Amino acid sequence: MSTTAKKPRLTTSAMIASIASEGQRVKAAPFGKALVELAQQRADIVGLTADLAKYTDLHLFAQAYPERFFQMGMAEQLLMASAGGMAKEGFIPFATTYAVFGTRRAFDFVHQVIAEENLNVKMCCALPGLTTGYGPSHQATEDIALMRGIPGMTIIDPCDALDTEQAVPQIAAHAGPVYMRLLRGNVPLVLDEYDYTFELGKAKMLRDGKDVLVISSGILTMRALEVAKALESDSVDVGVLHVPTIKPLDTATILAEASRSGRLVVVAENHTAVGGLGEAVATALLTAGVTPPFYQIALPDAFLDAGALPTLHDRYGISTEAMVTAIKGWLG
């Protein structure tokens, strides 16, 4: 870390970070709005947070249904365990905090209270992967790995506002615990251009391509679509398979697409290379004897730096430019 470098100043994105790039189409608070709408039809929905309603868009629910909203204070173990308790009484609790705290801080409570009894708690956790420049304390780079290790956990990694709002009623309808990575604030709107609907448990081809198949989740699907457009000018044909449900994995669709010959397979995720979508897909492919050329775009197995998000996305290879460069390199 040098102290002398003088570069144009990029501000560190704080708790209020938005992952939308300039001029991008966005939708405000898709999670909060979808939950309010769902709660009109379902009286069993309750909302709980650990001093982060405003930062998870749950404040909209709190305003609409004050009697069904419970502020648990900044106490994530209480948040998850009490959500479990409410589920035992027949409610469907939506519990929100940041992804780091919902997983790391509350892990044993999620595991023992919620998952082991297959309770109906929907954990919606913001700042997934590398979406803040605050350093490891706020960067949830291994949340999926942790949650994948829990039997029976359903894991959702939405790409954009459309994915998010469509996922809300479906995760409520699903019986059992769900961990959803939450995009909050002004969330990019991307998938409406692709004749797409979110279906829990389903991977979906967003565009076909004969040279490269990118299998991705979360905001890296948004990036993969940008990469595909960028590589058109190099006459590289990139297909994108979006996998918003990480667990249970839609192995059938993944195998069908990955076994088409002549394509490089690249798994792209906003998560450490350890224990996420990349390893899940690799296991599925090897187990089925499907062995295309295979590459991973993921965060390194390291504690990441603090700094401005664009800088960090470049540094760790998940910016559109970095992904284009990597894929071109692999194509040779």
Partner 1 sequence: MNIPSEIGSHTKLAEHAYRIRRYALQMGEVQGQGYVGQALGYADVLAVAYCHAMSYKPSDPEWEGRDRFLLSHGHYAIAFYAALLEAGVIPEDELETYGSDDSRLPMSGMATYTPGMEMSGGSLGQGLPIAVGIALGLRLKGNPAFVYNSMSDGELDEGSTWEAAMGAAHHGLSNLICLVDINNQQADGPSTKVMGFEPLADKWAAFGWHVQRVNGNDLPAVIAAFDTARNLQEARPRVILFDTLMGKGVPFLEAREKNHFIRVDPHEWQQAIEILDQARGAV
Ligand X SMILES: Cc1ncc(C[n+]2csc(CCOP(=O)(O)OP(=O)(O)O)c2C)c(N)n1
For partner 1, the binding residues (CB under 8 A) are 1-3, 5, 7, 9-12, 14-16, 49-55, 59, 71-75, 77-78, 100-101, 104-105, 133-138, 303, 305-308, 311
- HEC string of the chain? CCCCCCCCCCCCCCCCCCCCCCCCCEEECHHHHHHHHHHHHCCCEEEEECCCCCCCCCHHHHHHCHHHEEECCCCHHHHHHHHHHHHHCCCEEEEEEEHHHHHHHCHHHHHHHHHCCCCCCEEEEECEECCCCCCCCCCECCHHHHHHCCCCCEEECCCCHHHHHHHHHHHHHCCCCEEEEECCCEEECCHHHHCCCCCCCCCEEEECCCCEEEEECCHHHHHHHHHHHHHHCCCCCEEEEECCEEECCCHHHHHHHHCCCCCEEEEEEEEECCCCHHHHHHHHHHHHCCCCCEEEEEECCCCCCCCCHHHHHHHCCCCHHHHHHHHHHHHC
Nearer to ligand X, 51 or 314 (CB): 51
289's contact among ligand X, partner 1, none, with CB below 5 to 8 A by partner kind, is none
CB of 134 to ligand X, least distance (A): 9
| 101 belongs to the binding site for ligand X (CB under 6 A) | yes
Nearer to partner 1, 136 or 293 (CB): 136
7's contact among partner 1, ligand X, none, with CB below 5 to 8 A by partner kind, is partner 1
Nearer to ligand X, 78 or 274 (CB): 78
| 105 belongs to the binding site for ligand X (CB under 6 A) | yes
| 51 belongs to the binding site for ligand X (CB under 6 A) | yes
| 74 belongs to the binding site for ligand X (CB under 6 A) | yes
| 247 belongs to the binding site for ligand X (CB under 6 A) | no
Binding site for ligand X (CB under 6 A): 51-52, 74, 101, 105
